[in-house]
Structures are given as C-alpha cells and as structure tokens.
Structure 1
C-alpha cells in the first residue's frame, strides 16, 4: 500500500473529478508551483496509484439500456478451466466487471446490453459457454441510483 499525504490526496481527488485537468490548473488548485506538482503526479503514476486516464461515457446514450448483475456458479475450478474463463471474461466488452466472490455463487459479473433481446443472446452465446458454469442468475437494474468509480481518498492511507 502506498502512503498518501494530504497533497497527494488532493491531487487524486481533483483528478477523479476532472481527469483532463492540466498540470498548471492542478498546481493552481493546490497552491503550489507546476514543477513540484508535476513531480508528485508522476510519483503517484509510477507507484501505480494512478493506473491511467479515461473518459466516462454515458452507456444509455451509447444504446446500452440494460445493466445486469450476473451470479455464476462453476463446477470446474482447475487451473486450465479458470484460465479460459478469465481469458473470455477479460476479452468480452459487454462484461464491465467480474469478481470472484464468497457465498453460494463463485462469480459476480456486471454486464451491459442494448436491450433484453441482446442480453438474452449474450447469455446464450457467451455466459452459457463459459467453462464449468452450472448456474446463471441475473438481476436486472431497474434504476441506477448511483454509479461512480471515484474512490474515497484520505491522507495517511
């Protein structure tokens, strides 16, 4: 774990709000000159605290009206089956996230699709073909009440 001081926490918070913020504007917000600000930012990037920068897209405006939370149970847990499972999950753009979880199911996926017909095709063509999958349970999002990828950043952590 990387230790984050107060200035580092401010940098991370500001960049989560506006990833396109210039170094000059970032330094201005922090009340410091540009060179030390740039050095701190580079240290956060090199330490892997900042993994990259990306635009936040509106899935609905891109025609992706369905979001599903999918619970999968698997019968096979050997190394080859799990490697193939992971390869498919990582290369399938409709799967936004996949977590290996505790409880009755083995995996929780977040999946997007254009509509219910598109989601049905996705289940048949992709999820049912994943190695070792014995159970698929879907929960469809009726209303997104909060969606964020911003992490709480506090100094000293």
Structure 2
C-alpha cells in the first residue's frame, strides 16, 4: 500500500490537523466554526484524513508521575544476529508490553531504542531482568535514565 503524501493536503486540511493535535476532543461543530466551514464538509474531510491514515487515533495525554511512574529509561538493545526471524519476533513481542512506550529500529552501535517507564529504580531493575533480558535475540542492554523531562510535545510540526 502506497503511503499518502503531505502534498495531497490543502491549507484547510493542515489547519484541521493542527487543531486536532491541540484539541483532540473538539466537537465537529466547533471544528467547523474554527475552520469557517459548515459541519458536513468538515466531517467529510475528517473522515478522509482518518481513512488515509493522517489521523491514526485519539487519546488523552496522561501525567506519568501522577500515575506513579517516576522513572523513564531510554534503552539501547543490541542483537548478535540481524538476520532470520529474531528481529521480527522481538518486534512482535514488544507490542504487548505496556511499559515500553516506544520502540525505534535505529542505526549505530545498537539495533533498537526503547522508551520505558517504571515506578522506581527497583521496579525498572526488575523489568530489565524479568522482561527485557528474555526478549528474543537480545544480547546487550544499555540503559540511560532521564533525570527530568524538558520537552514532550508529542505534536508534529504540521503545515
């Protein structure tokens, strides 16, 4: 399936995407008002943007500290073998692990970069031993702990 490209979007689409990033729960009527359009065309545009994959979903932004996750770790994962089924099995396995917030296949000395949350250092150490060391193909794990979050916008520079 060919990816949709940014140049298929007009100025109204881009403005709509910016508004949705700022206010994911915005009502269709309010969105139409902010775009100076009637509700039906806004609804059609929004459905098209969702169907074409520009909008992948909607979610609330939660405060990890208030929910008891005091540790954020960035984890470099290294494989001994980069061929065969192991990378696929690894990628499949991490999908079901909620403590892993993101996973990137990267270049350089390591193969993957994970962002992991834990309640505290002891909880993180247990997670490494109980989960990360048992993932398929993993031969080395290097962790860097975040001292504090400086920026976490989570918004793309649209338009």
- Structure-1-length-normalised TM-score: 0.94
The CA RMSD over aligned residues, in Å, is: 1.0
- Please state whether the residue corresponding to 2:85 is helix, strand or coil: helix
Deviation at 1:131, TM superposition (A): 1.9
Partner in structure 2 of residue 135 of structure 1 = 140
- Structure-2-length-normalised TM-score: 0.93
Partner in structure 2 of residue 111 of structure 1 = 116
- Paired residues for 1:1-157 under 5 Å: 1-2=5-6, 3-154=8-159
Report the count of equivalent residues: 154
User: Per-residue displacement from partner, 1:5-33 (whole Å, max 9, x unpaired)?
Assistant: 11001100001011100000000001111
Where relative contact order (Cα < 8 A, 6+ residues apart) is larger, the structure is: 1
Instruction: Determine if contact 1:72/1:105 at 8 Å carries over to the other structure.
Output: yes
| Gapped regions of structure 2 (runs ≥ 5) | none
| Gapped regions of structure 1 (runs ≥ 5) | none
For structure 1, which segment, 71-80 or 55-64, has the greater mean C-alpha deviation from structure 2 after superposition?
71-80
